[in-house]
Amino acid sequence: MSTTTTTTMTEEAVITYDINLPYHDASLEKSVVKHAQYTPTWNKIWFDPLPSFEFTDPALRADREKSNLLTPAVSVDNITPKMGTILQNLQLTQLSDKAKDELALFISERKVVVFPDQDFLEAGLEYQQRFMDYFGKRNYQPVSGSIPGYPGFHIIHRDGNKPELDAFFAQKTTSCLWHQDVSYEMQPPGYVMLGLLDGPKVGGDTVFAATDEAYKRLSPAMQNFLDGIKVRHSSANMINHTRLAGGLVRKDPVTSTHPLVRVHPVTGERCIFINGEFITGAVGLKDVEWKAISDFLLQHLISTHDIQARVQWSPRTVVMFDNRSTIHTAVVDYVDDQHGAQPRHIFRLAAMAEKPIPVPPA
């Protein structure tokens, strides 16, 4: 996700959170929405905080050989040696429960998995939501539009409004906002799905960085220091921005305290749990101290290209990724003076998982 320009009651331009999200129906050009069933609406529904729940990762049930998932017909093409894989000749609609368990394990190991040419996108909203229910509890987005009857769908939408993008880039040097999805929840998502509905022929990629590999690159002294830090994640700023933009809010702000370094329940790896969107401070540290640490870690993740994978979208593509061991950003590069701005329309389904596991005491 990145950032968008909206207008307040005083007609002053306000740079707000997400350049991909419409905050009210006036910001959507409905004529360019090719998949009407995924058009966000602003019906007033309210979500209470998600209570704690017991979660068992389906990857822990999986056969490590993955014979139900990686059949002889499936083509496995890695995006980078350590991270990201494209699975060809596999349809998500054909997976058994055993294959889904193995898929969870495969995502935990490879972090980002791309599924081209999926009939899954024609299977319908009910089927898509039930598929992701297998991987964890539903997440309900607190802001932006949703689909009537299917509030678990988070709609990421750019309507091709070039003046809006021009106004944004007049104030910002980049569209990139590196983050982990809804990290402010008490039990944030483990597995996340993105499905491309419409997008530019070139551009609009999503870039992922591996937070476990980033941790390994640090010195033992720095690792030991970070292992004990706890940070506060909050949705309050996002909700305040949405209200300023005239958008609808469906949840009270949620604030959770999580370890800065979390232990992955499947791989056992230590992962830096940080983002540039939701963290408001660290327990026991002054703001200036936390800013120095946060800036260093984010720059480490953003600039270390040898721990990153870039996903290029094509029609009917589905991507699933591990939200615990990756940080990601959309790339808004599909606008120019010759062609204007092209639409980009994606849905997200997030499966809530375990409460982040801290590094055990030495």
Domain ranges (residues) in the chain = 4-23+71-352
pTM of the model: 0.91
Q: How confident is the model at residue 166 (pLDDT cuts 50, 70, 90)?
A: confident
The tens digit of pLDDT for each residue in 93-120 reads 999 999 999 999 999 999 999 999 999 9
Residue 20's pLDDT band, with cuts at 50, 70 and 90, is low
Q: Report the distance separating Cα 22 and Cα 41, nearest Å.
A: 10
* Sequence letter at residue 134: Y
pLDDT score for 171 = 75
Class of the CATH-defined domain 4-23+71-352: alpha beta
pLDDT, tens only, 193-205: 999 998 888 888 9
* Burial class, 61, CB count within 10 angstroms (exposed 0-12 / middle 13-18 / buried 19+): middle
* Closest among 117, 59, 60, 67 to 89, alpha carbons compared: 117
Task: Tell me which amino acid residue 174 is.
Answer: T
pLDDT band at 242 (very low <50, low <70, confident <90, very high): confident
